[in-house]
């Protein structure tokens, strides 16, 4: 069985306060610049 590949512009490791804040701020800046930006936040735990 192969692995599924997914493309993102930004990958943030860790869904703690800093990781989530970074993701939100990046999306805000991208929207202000009228740019599309795909961001994914990875967390080892099952809940955020």
pLDDT for 16: 95
For the stretch 2-40, what's the b/e string if a residue is b when 16 or more beta carbons lie within 10 angstroms of its beta carbon?
eeeeeeeeeebeebeeebeeebeeeeeebeeeeeeeeee
pLDDT for the residue numbered 24? 99
Count how many domains the chain has: 1
pTM: 0.83
Give the list of residues 6+ apart from residue 48 with CB closer than 8 angstroms, or none: 15, 20, 41
Question: What is the reported pLDDT for 11?
Answer: 98
20 within domain boundaries: yes
Provide the residue range defining the domain that includes 27.
Answer: 12-42
Residue the block writes with tokens 């930006």: 37
Domain assignment present for 21: yes
Does some domain include residue 5? no
Q: Using CA atoms, how far apart are residues 18 and 21, in angstroms rounded to an integer?
A: 5
> Does residue 1 belong to any structural domain of this protein?
no
């Amino acid at each position: 069985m192969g692995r599924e590949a997914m493309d993102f512009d930004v990958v943030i490791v860790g869904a703690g306060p800093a990781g989530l804040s970074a993701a939100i701020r990046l999306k805000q800046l991208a929207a202000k610049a009228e740019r599309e930006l795909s961001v994914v936040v990875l967390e080892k735990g099952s809940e955020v």
